[in-house]
Chains A and B, each alone.
Chain A
Amino acid sequence: MDKGKAVMGSGRRWAVELTDNSTSHSSRDIPDPPGFTRASQEQDDSAVSKQKKDAEANWKSQKAWEVAQSPFKNLFMMAFMMWMAGSTVHLFSIGITVSALLQPINALRGVGKVFEPYKDNKVDLLAPKLVFIALNLAGLGLGIWKLNTLGLLPTHVSDWVSSLPPPQEVEYAGGGIQLY
């Protein structure tokens, strides 16, 4: 764009503006074609659009709730997978547990993004968001619980003392049966 302007500035004889600037405000300085009034169009649509907007808001809030509840199904699915994986540490159970931990965390990080499409002045997104967060936290909890049952959380004494070297001894005694 900059380049184009620079070329124009250097005295090009003619140019065709191919971009449609009809909706942008930059083209407001160009007069409207005869018989076209911009203001009347906006006023005419208002009644219809209001109805439409209400429906849309409804739909959006409905969808937002749906989205908010979606982790619930996931939760069951996860629980089932965990049960299948058993309580021994191996590749499969670790994989499931890691995914069970990562999924809620990713979902929580992207809460804003998930509810972005349903953002509306008229829709109250707080409640669905809270539900969504709560369910994901539940999922996370499930993951952590699984981690604990696998014994991968350092909650036991054994996790902290297992590599403690034996204590030094103050005294030293040697000797034995005499050498022959």
Chain B
Amino acid sequence: MKMAIRVFLLLFMFFSSSYPTFSLYEDQVGLMDWHQKYIGKVKHAVFHTQKAARKRVVVSTEENVVASLDLRHGEIFWRHVLGPNDVIDQIDIVLGKYVITLSSGGSILRAWNLPDGQMVWESTLIGSKPSKPLLLVPTNLKVDKDNVVFVYGNGFIHAVASVDGEVLWKKELASEGIDIHQIIYPDGSDKIYAVGFLGFSEVAAYQLNVKSGELSKPSNLLFPAGFSGDLSFVTDETAVAMDSTGTILVAIHFQDGQIRLHQTPVSQIIQDFSGTAVILSSKIPGMFILKIDSSVAFIRVINEGKLEVVDKLGHTNSISDSLPLSDSQEAFALVQHGDGKILLTVKLSGDWTSNLVEETIQMDHQRGIVDKVFINSYVRMDRSNGFRFLIVMADHSLLLLQQGEIVWSREDGLASIVDVKASELPVEKDGVSVAKVEHNLYEWLKGHLLKLKGTLMIATPDDVAAIQKIRLQSSEKSKMTRDRNGFRKLLIVLTRAGKLFALHTGDGRIVWSLLLNSLRKSEACENPRGISLHQWQDPHHHALDENPSVLVVGRCGHSLDSAGVLSIVDTYTGEERSHMGPLHSIIRIIPLPFTDSLEQRLHLLLDGNQQAHLYPRTAEALRIFQQELGNIYWYSAETNKGILRGHGVQKNCVLEETDDFCFDSRDLWSIVFPSESETIAATATRSLNEVVHTQTKVTGDQEVMYKYISKNLLFLATVAPKAGGPIGSVTPDESSLVVYVIDTVTGRILHRMTHHGSQGPLQAVFSENWIVYHYFNLRAHRYEMSVIEIYDQARADNKDVLKLVLGTHNLTSPTTAYSRPEVVTKSQSYFFTHSVKTMAVTSTAKGITSKQVLLGTIGDQVLALDKRFLDPRRTANPTQAEKEEGIIPLTDSLPIIPQSYITHSLKVEGLRGIITVPAKLESTTLVFAYGVDLFFTRLAPSRTYDSLTEDFSYALLLITIIALLVAILVTWVWSEKKELQEKWR
């Protein structure tokens, strides 16, 4: 007996002291997580369709991705995500086997192996001053038996060997202030020309020797009227530019080092022209495109600078670059928009009237207009030319069209998610058909029998495969109805293109998508841009027949004071219920903790004049708001000035026309940070919908600590202005990091702490009564994470058990920020190995489950770190009571347990954000990480203590119960018989 107790105690100690890890088994991958790869909006595309190799297209995108796509299916062969500051300028293919990328403003040139995407070489091209990056890949030019690539960037022209990236020669061109617009290599010659503007009104052309880079005397020509915009090259010898007034076209000829100009007023070739015209960049031989108001004109350059209008089209449309065909002709594609369809035409550059191809293709209205088109040709069976079109739509999706049909499409808009909100799915309706149930029952039994076989290890390899398939394709998880555990939801995402997508959490498929009307280009709104998403209506208690909806906030321009636009979108149907705007500017959006009878959340939108606008604009909302008017405050962190201000909402604003929904605000308090030593680096607040289960924390020795829980707390960190640069740019003595915890109602600083010798980048999360933040410690040369926990000392006197039993305490009565708070903070710091891109914290339905901090690491993975490691009560030698409470002995650094990477072996390339959504099951939280890739999974920070695992074999349980029942029956009959026999004896 004693032995048993000892063993039991030992086991208990073992389990209570071991750290919980949340790793997956290999066969569980993909059961509750999904991962999607994207590339972003395509900027350049180069086709590689030689007969022998697999047909592919190499693209570079605005997310700084260079990728090789399968031309048949649109799948990614390989992909590289360059850093956020390493913007790709140009791509091309050399030698038929290397992909060349020029990035970072023409200072980094890389070659990637075409078949597998391995990097072959990289050259850093150093220059003096930034300039327009240019890449020229001559098809058949050899210098010392090497194929050469010419790069112009940072004022230097470089000749780079394409085999090994060695710089053969370089020459500075920018020394005289010339702004090079184009490098030209006339086929077969031994010279290259660099043409550009010198200053504002002078054309200059340099001549360089291909082999040595020797510079011959530049030829200049002054044009007193001045130029505007770009040089547009029509042929290797002729370029067209616009004069500074935008009314005269200038044709520029370069010939044998001579420059000649030829001026043509636009009004001379185009009737009833007024205003200004802009030359659109294009690469069609002998032709250029002029944009006049809303129409475009195609103008051909006939020799000696004579211009002739070929055609004039009214619609906005896209034109591809020209493509050389086999018979020394060049073709280009023109896309025009019709009603719900697009018209594709391919023309020869020399012959406008006839079309090589004319196709009409039905196009989803939600994709918007065509943004870019790339063409590629192939030889058909009958030796004629066929064309493939790669088009980029306004929603950033990528489509391949061939023979009038969409071959494949990629939703690459999802690579640039701006904001995410989760929405419930509809409740399941009654009346499921019998046949379906029977089918399901049969399937269910079959599935469970298979599982049982797996459990009893009698399954054949085929069975194992079938089990895995059933698990992965479980129809349960992708149903379009709400489930009991709340795992199935819709993720509403807003992309930079202004498109809303609804993704199903079960398998990540797109349920609906909507290119918002308010975020489409229009006369009133030139450059619309989506800013954020907000939960508008989320019926839970009443108004249950209403569908939930989200509020999409956008802005018309890039400046802060440009007009705002609002849309309300139904999340079940994906229809835009209403849209408003353009209206007042939108600087801040404050969701209020009040809802009206339709469960529409009240929102305050603050404009540039510090006026607050109430939405929804209903009398009921106004009544609710008026009741709470005195208790609503707002604060603004002005990062550029280093001021934190608090404001109260006052009476209606004074305008020409009365607006009941507009309120003035008054300044209440301000905190001015000393500008010579502190600039605001980061802020963090608690999320509005976070649920906290209890206000107390009970320690191991039955003591009670009252948490200081307030929604009105702001965590704010400042760094020394000098330390704003990258790590290592300042000495530890010059840099310090100050953190504040501020009550945003009264402006009271509750806590202030300085980390000497530390600097940003700073990431922080605020949850319940604690803050976790990550920064760099310059003295220790390591990243550090700190935790601050805030406790309420004013409540600590509530020690009378009798009062608590009778409920005569005031612990749950409403509190005000104006009562004097007595807070105590505890904090601790730890070293941490990784640098962190983004941080989040898990949230659960009732807030009972312990928390995990989710860290987006620099390697684009998501690491879950238990909050227990970030506990300021950790000590090097915890007492017995503390050990029982689960306090981990203090170590100097936080452990990184490989199994706690929730992204397991996957990478969320370009990781930008992580959001967590509570499931209905208390133990579980849903995690969505987004960047260029998307990743979704389910997390149980304290394991699933409230449900059986999905692997639980119900069949085994059933069989056990049946077997036991049978056993009872048999033994009963048997005992009856025996008893009878006894009696007869």
Binding site for B on A (CB under 8 A): 84-86, 88, 90-92, 151, 155-158, 160-180
Contact = CB atoms under 8 A, between A and B. Distances in A.
B635 A173 contact: yes
B5 A170 contact: no
Interface of B: 2, 5, 8-9, 12, 531-532, 553, 555, 560, 586-593, 604, 606, 628, 631-637, 639, 646-647, 680, 683, 685, 688, 692-696, 698, 702-704, 707, 709-712, 714, 744-745, 798-801, 804-805, 811-818, 884
Contacts of A158: 696, 698, 702-704
A38 B604 CA distance: 110
B8 A172 contact: no
Interface centre among A86, A173, A175 (most CB of B within 10 A): A173
A170 B702 contact: no
Contact of B636 (A91, A155, A167, A175): A175
A176 B683 contact: yes
Nearest to A96: B5
A155 B804 CA distance: 11
Contacts of A85: 5
Given A161-B704, A167-B812, A171-B745, A178 B696 contact: no
Contact of A161 (B592, B604, B798, B818): B798
Name the 8 nearest CB pairs between A and B, nearest first: A174-B590, A160-B804, A173-B633, A173-B744, A175-B634, A158-B698, A166-B709, A166-B695
A166 B884 contact: no
A170 B814 CA distance: 6
A178 B560 contact: yes
Contacts of A174: 588, 590-592, 604, 634-635, 688
Given A92-B8, A166-B694, A175-B590, 19 more contacts: A88-B9, A151-B702, A156-B704, A157-B798, A158-B696, A161-B694, A161-B804, A162-B694, A164-B811, A166-B695, A170-B631, A170-B816, A172-B631, A172-B712, A174-B588, A174-B604, A174-B688, A176-B588, A179-B553
Contacts of B694: 161-166
A136 to B, nearest CB: 25
Contact of B5 (A92, A156, A165, A176): A92
9 contacts: A158-B704, A161-B798, A167-B812, A169-B710, A169-B711, A173-B744, A175-B635, A176-B636, A179-B553
A164 B698 CA distance: 12
A177 B592 CA distance: 17
Nearest to B709: A166
A166 B713 CA distance: 15
Contacts of B639: 177
Contacts of A163: 693-694
Nearest to A178: B587
A153 to B, nearest CB: 11
Contact of A86 (B9, B635, B647): B9
Given A157-B804, A160-B801, A171-B745, A176 B695 contact: no
A178 B634 contact: no
A168 B711 CA distance: 10
Given A84-B5, A160-B805, A161-B804, A169 B815 contact: yes
Contacts of B555: 179
A175 B560 contact: no
Contacts of B631: 170-172
B798 A171 contact: no
Contacts of A171: 631-633, 712, 745, 816-818
Given A167-B695, A176-B683, A156 B801 contact: yes
A158 B698 CA distance: 6
Contacts of B591: 174
A156 B812 contact: no
Contacts of B604: 174
B683 A157 contact: no
A35 B168 CA distance: 151
Nearest to B713: A173
- Interface of B, secondary structure class, is mixed
A127 to B, nearest CB: 36
Nearest to A167: B815
Contacts of A162: 694, 696, 698, 704
Contacts of B745: 171, 173
B683 A166 contact: no
A175 B692 CA distance: 21
A149 to B, nearest CB: 11
A62 B66 CA distance: 100
Interface centre among A92, A162, A179 (most CB of B within 10 A): A179
B200 to A, nearest CB: 33
B687 to A, nearest CB: 12
Contacts of A169: 710-712, 814-817
A92 B647 CA distance: 60
Contacts of B646: 173
Given A164-B694, A164-B811, A165-B695, A179 B532 contact: yes
B923 to A, nearest CB: 18
A155 B604 CA distance: 47
A157 B799 CA distance: 6
A99 B356 CA distance: 95
A84 B636 CA distance: 62
B695 A155 contact: no
Contacts of A156: 702, 704, 801
Nearest to B696: A161
A88 to B, nearest CB: 7
A116 to B, nearest CB: 33
A176 B635 contact: yes
B876 to A, nearest CB: 23
A176 B685 contact: yes
Contacts of A180: 531, 560
A178 B588 CA distance: 6
Nearest to B637: A177
A137 to B, nearest CB: 24
Contact of B633 (A151, A166, A172): A172
A85 B560 CA distance: 69
A39 to B, nearest CB: 47
B696 A179 contact: no
A175 B591 CA distance: 9
B768 to A, nearest CB: 9
Contact of B711 (A91, A161, A164, A172): A172
A143 to B, nearest CB: 19
A173 B693 contact: no
B589 A179 contact: yes
B255 to A, nearest CB: 50
Given A171-B631, A177-B639, A166 B692 contact: yes
B635 A170 contact: no
A107 B791 CA distance: 49
A165 B706 CA distance: 11
A160 B647 CA distance: 39
A174 B555 CA distance: 21
Contacts of A151: 702
A156 B802 CA distance: 10
Contact of A173 (B8, B712, B798): B712
Nearest to B800: A157
A2 B606 CA distance: 97
Contacts of B587: 178-179
Given A165-B693, A173-B646, A179-B531, A90 B589 contact: no
Given A163-B694, A169-B817, A175 B707 contact: no
B686 to A, nearest CB: 11
A90 B8 contact: yes
A175 B713 CA distance: 11
A151 B814 CA distance: 31
Contacts of B589: 179
A88 B815 contact: no
Contacts of A168: 814-815
Nearest to B587: A178
Interface centre among B532, B631, B646, B804 (most CB of A within 10 A): B804
A166 B795 CA distance: 12
Contacts of B647: 175
